[in-house]
A and B are shown apart, each in its own frame.
Chain A
Amino acid sequence: MWRLSSVRHKAVPQGRSLEEFKLMRREHEKVLRSARKDNLLVSKRLLLCEDEDETPMDAASGDQVVHLVQKLQQSGQEKETHLKALSGSLRNPSAQTVFIKHENSMHLLVGLLSGSQAQWRLLALQCLHELSQSHQPNVTLACVPATPYLLTYLSGQSTKLTELCLYTLGNLCPGSDVVRDKLLAQGIIPALKNCMESQRSSLAVVEAVGFTLSQLLQAKDAAEKITPAVLASGLPSLLRSVLSPDPQFGLAPAIECAWCLHYLTCSTVGSSALRADGTLSRCSSLLVALGGAVSKGTKEEGMELLVWPLLRSVGNLLSSGPPGAMGSQGGDLLPALCALARAFLPSHPALARESAWVLNNLTADSSELCTALLDLNLVPELIQLLPFSQGINTMLLRVLGNVAHQTKRSCSQLARAGLVPALCATLRMSEPDVVALSLEVLFMLVAGCPQAAEEFVGQNGVALLEAVQYNGDGEIRQRAAHLLEHQLPAPPTTTYQHTSCSTTYPRSTSWSTTYPRSTPPGAPPTSTPPGAPPTPPAHLLEHHLPPQHTSWSTTYPPSTPPGAPPTSTPPVAPPTPPAHLL
Chain B
Amino acid sequence: MSVSNMGGFGGKDTPFRFTPQRIHLGKDHELFEDGDIHRHMYLQNLSSSETDEQPKHSVSEFGCHISGCCQRFRSVEEYEHHYNSLHRHVCSACRRSFPSARLLDVHIEEWHDAMFDILSQSQDMYQCLVEGCGLKFRTSKQRKDHLIQIHKYPPDFRFDKTKREHRKEQKPQTRQPAGGAEVMEGVCEAVLPAADPEQHPEEEEEEEDMETVELQAPSGSGEQGPPSGGTPQPDAETVGDGQRPRYSYRVPATVCFGKGSVRGFRGRGRRK
Contacts and interface: CB of A to CB of B under 8 A. Distances in A.
A406 interface: yes
A552 B47 contact: no
B206 interface: no
Nearest to B269: A521
Interface size class of B (residues with CB under 8 A): 35 or more
B11 to A, nearest CB: 10
B192 interface: yes
Interface stretch (A145-153, A290-298, A512-520): A512-520
Contacts of A482: 14-16
Q: Count chain A CB atoms within 10 A of each CB in B49, B58, B92, B135 and give the residue with the most.
A: B92
Contacts of A390: 57-58
Contacts of A569: 134
Interface in B30-46: 31-46
B41 A437 contact: no
Given A320-B24, A365-B22, A405-B20, A568 B102 contact: no
B136 interface: yes
Given A522-B68, A558-B106, A348 B60 contact: no
Interface in A124-149: none
Given A319-B23, A522-B68, A259 B39 contact: yes
Interface stretch (B107-115, B150-158, B177-185): B107-115
A315 B26 CA distance: 11
Nearest to A525: B238
A41 interface: yes
A467 B38 contact: no
A387 B60 contact: yes
A347 B49 CA distance: 10
B47 A559 contact: no
Q: Count chain A CB atoms within 10 A of each CB in B50, B134, B242 and give the residue with the most.
A: B50
Interface in B126-157: 127, 131-132, 134-136
Contacts, number: 344
Nearest to B108: A549
B52 A22 contact: yes
A560 interface: yes
A570 interface: no
Contact of B57 (A305, A388, A521): A388
A582 interface: yes
A359 to B, nearest CB: 11
Contact of B20 (A43, A387, A402, A579): A402
Interface string A397-440: 01001100111100000000000000011101111001101011
A522 to B, nearest CB: 4
Interface residues of A, number: 136
Q: Count chain B CB atoms within 10 A of each CB in A430, A441, A526 and give the residue with the most.
A: A430
Given A425-B76, A515-B93, A558-B127, A475 B22 contact: no
A470 B131 contact: no
B116 A467 contact: no
Given A515-B93, A534-B67, A549-B105, A32 B1 contact: no
B203 to A, nearest CB: 13
A8 B47 contact: yes
Nearest to A437: B18
Contacts of A565: 132, 134
Contact of A364 (B20, B32, B65): B20
Interface stretch (B79-87, B165-173, B218-226): B79-87
A526 B241 CA distance: 5
Given A7-B47, A468-B65, A523 B240 contact: yes
A514 B241 CA distance: 11
7 contacts: A36-B33, A364-B22, A389-B58, A405-B6, A431-B63, A444-B16, A536-B241
In the A-B complex, list the 10 residue pairs whose CB atoms are closest, starting with the nearest.
Answer: A430-B63, A350-B34, A521-B192, A552-B115, A567-B134, A319-B24, A440-B18, A519-B92, A43-B43, A364-B20
Interface of A: 2, 7-11, 22, 24-25, 28-29, 32-33, 36, 39, 41, 43-45, 211, 218, 259, 263, 266-267, 271, 301-302, 304-305, 308-309, 312, 315-316, 318-320, 323, 345-354, 357, 360-361, 363-365, 367, 387-393, 398, 401-402, 405-408, 424-426, 428-431, 434-435, 437, 439-441, 443-444, 447-448, 467-472, 475, 478-479, 482, 486, 513-527, 533-534, 536, 548-549, 551-553, 558-561, 564-569, 576-579, 582
